[in-house]
Structure 1
Amino acid sequence: MKTIFITGLSFFMSLLSYLNPKSAQTAETTIPLCHVPSKSLAGNDMSAMAADPAFQRLHVAPLPFTYAGAGEMVKFSTSDGQSASGFLLKAKQPSNKWLLVYQEWWGLNDNIKQQAETFYNDLKDVNVLAVDMYDGKVATEPAEAGKLMQGASKDRLANIQKGAIAFAGPKAEFASVGWCFGGMLSLQSALMEGQKAKGCVMYYGRPEQDVEKLKALNTDVLGIFGSQDKGITPETVKTFEENMQKAGKKVTVKMYDAGHGFANPSNPVYNKEASADAYKLALAYLKEKLSA
């Protein structure tokens, strides 16, 4: 049994070093989360991590929550010949301003729908679309989320995002926001939006590490992170800041004394004070970007 444990630990350390060489020195406190942007999410190291029970236990199952607000599910075409869906809150007055909302690794659950409505009510006259990145599937337990993560491919995720952008129309201007897995997707969305990108908020998501790709950003980025996060560590955030500087882009980072997932009210590690302050910051940023 001891031999098996040591072998497994050695494999995990090697994997960690491969994904993030800088973090290998502090592997006992640094565990990469579901935010690897540069590879396919299926059939690779990311898939193996998502299947690992130890990795899954890092994500505490959300508390039961039922959304009973406004909005409707809509469908849109994707370039791979399929269709995708999202939760839409349409602006009361005709508007070309759009906020794309990206889910955590659980899927488009009721918590994300509530978050979308909260932004919708506070932003005013902005279309809000929470994009379903798992094609209708939602997890309530870490093991389920791991399976969904394993089944998500980079190509399919990109096609869904591009489909959502096209759904908004040729005159649309975008800002995006996401948490955890969705934080990564929010930044990727801004890259896909090109000149239509006006703002990007990422909550504790793994940043894009390719400086050349970051050079294509048409917007600055607001990054919200936790100093106690053992996946997206302060070191990772610092590297992101350095890479954005190299790319000639602006990123504003707000670091809270909190752990991963602190802004999710259905998360047992929810930090009410940090979450409220982060939302106030994000809302002010998005209002500025979407009012121009």
Structure 2
Amino acid sequence: MRNIYFFMLLFCSAAAYAQTDITVCHTPATEKFAMFASNKDFNAKHPVPGNYIHVSEEGGKMIKIKCADGKDANGYLLKAKTPTDNWILVFQEWWGLNDYIKRQSENLYKDLGNVNILALDMYDGKLATDRETASRYMQEFKQERGDIIVKGALAYAGKNAKIGTIGWCFGGGQSLQAALTAGGQARACVIYYGMPVEDVDKLKKLNTEVLGIFAIEDKYITPEVVAKFEENMKLAGKKAIIKNYNADHGFANPSNAAGYKEEATKDAYENTLDFLKSKIK
């Protein structure tokens, strides 16, 4: 099995986190990310990425993407070998668009078949290699800019593009945000550990089912948060396919010696591939 690097970054419960007295009820998902990024105990749970330099075997390259605000965005593109309107937008963890995300994008490219993969740089060129910097970058992130980047990517893919989204942790939340932004072009959305959107009216605008990968022992994206998301999706008339694993946050990260769960990781990835293949045809 290929090594699948899913980094640890789990965000918030729907109640107050006792050690920090942070109340996150009724707070937008992006703001919840920032709240927990300021928590030292939370940050300490995340292993620093190892030294890895990605060399693409499939012609992956960095590109510039025009954006409506006049500021170009960055993306890592793997172009389909045969022209197709099928696109997967990939979203980073809190470290930024690093070489691990590029490798994971390439794994998806190989395993999904003929599809365009575009991993978006939501930090505009900034990369973190330590927790303190990652925490700061995530707190500085503005959802308005994130939405502009996604709109730029949609324009790059073209009006006929069928869009799937996937992300881990910070990127899990961004995957759902991007599916909302994609509107009628959205065909699939996968969330690993991300904080879901709570607003039912916003969820009503989704044009796709959502596959949610979560951990039962997660103390941030708790089972209660997941159950509420599933309920909200039903209220919105949308379908959420929820896969809860008997594991803690970061279980799909093989560098997490204490919490990595090989079988759960394999099963989650197989579910991800099956879901994306069924929706992006």
TM-score, scaled relative to structure 1: 0.84
Tell me if 1:171 matches 2:160: yes
Q: Is the 8 A contact 1:93 1:125 kept in 2?
A: yes
Query: What is the CA-CA distance between 1:63 and the residue it aligns to?
Result: 3.0
Task: Kindly report which structure 2 residues correspond to 1:258-273, keeping only aligned pairs within 5 A, or say none.
Answer: 258-268=247-257, 269-273=259-263
Instruction: Give the corresponding residue for 1:116.
Output: 105
CA 1:40–1:121 in structure 2 vs 1: closer, same or farther (change >3 Å)? closer
Q: Is the 8 A contact 2:92 2:122 kept in 1?
A: yes
Q: Is the 8 A contact 1:40 1:155 kept in 2?
A: no
CA 1:238–1:142 in structure 2 vs 1: closer, same or farther (change >3 Å)? same
Tell me if 1:274 matches 2:235: no
Aligned counterparts of 1:137 and 1:198: Cα–Cα separation in 2: 30
Aligned counterparts of 1:242 and 1:30: Cα–Cα separation in 2: 26
Task: Kindly report which structure 2 residues correspond to 1:137-148, keeping only aligned pairs within 5 A, or say none.
Answer: 137-148=126-137
Instruction: Give the corresponding residue for 2:40.
Output: 53
Q: What is the identity percentage for the equivalent residue pairs of Structure 1 and Structure 2? A: 49
For CA contacts below 8 A with separation 6 or more, give which structure has more relative contact order. Answer: 2
Q: Where do 5+ consecutive residues of structure 2 fail to align?
A: 1-10
CA 1:259–1:200 in structure 2 vs 1: closer, same or farther (change >3 Å)? same
Deviation string 1:118-155 (CA, Å, 9 cap, x unpaired) is 11001111000011111111112111101111221121
Aligned counterparts of 2:275 and 2:22: Cα–Cα separation in 1: 30
Tell me if 1:192 matches 2:171: no
- AA matched with 2:117: V
Aligned counterparts of 1:84 and 1:211: Cα–Cα separation in 2: 30
Between 1:47-56 and 1:105-114, the stretch displaced more is 47-56
Aligned counterparts of 1:242 and 1:215: Cα–Cα separation in 2: 13
- AA matched with 1:171: N
Query: What is the CA-CA distance between 1:56 and the residue it aligns to?
Result: 1.6
Question: Which of 19, 23, 27 is matched with 2:15 structurally?
Answer: 23
Q: Is the 8 A contact 1:134 1:148 kept in 2?
A: yes
Tell me if 1:128 matches 2:117: yes
Instruction: Give the corresponding residue for 1:213.
Output: 202
- AA matched with 2:176: L
- Count, aligned residues: 267
The residue matched to 1:23 in structure 2 has which SS?
coil
CA RMSD of aligned residues (A): 2.5
The residue matched to 1:198 in structure 2 has which SS?
strand
Deviation string 1:66-109 (CA, Å, 9 cap, x unpaired) is 32223000111111110001110000000100000111111111
Indicate the structure (1 or 2) with the bigger Cα radius of gyration.
1
TM-score, scaled relative to structure 2: 0.88
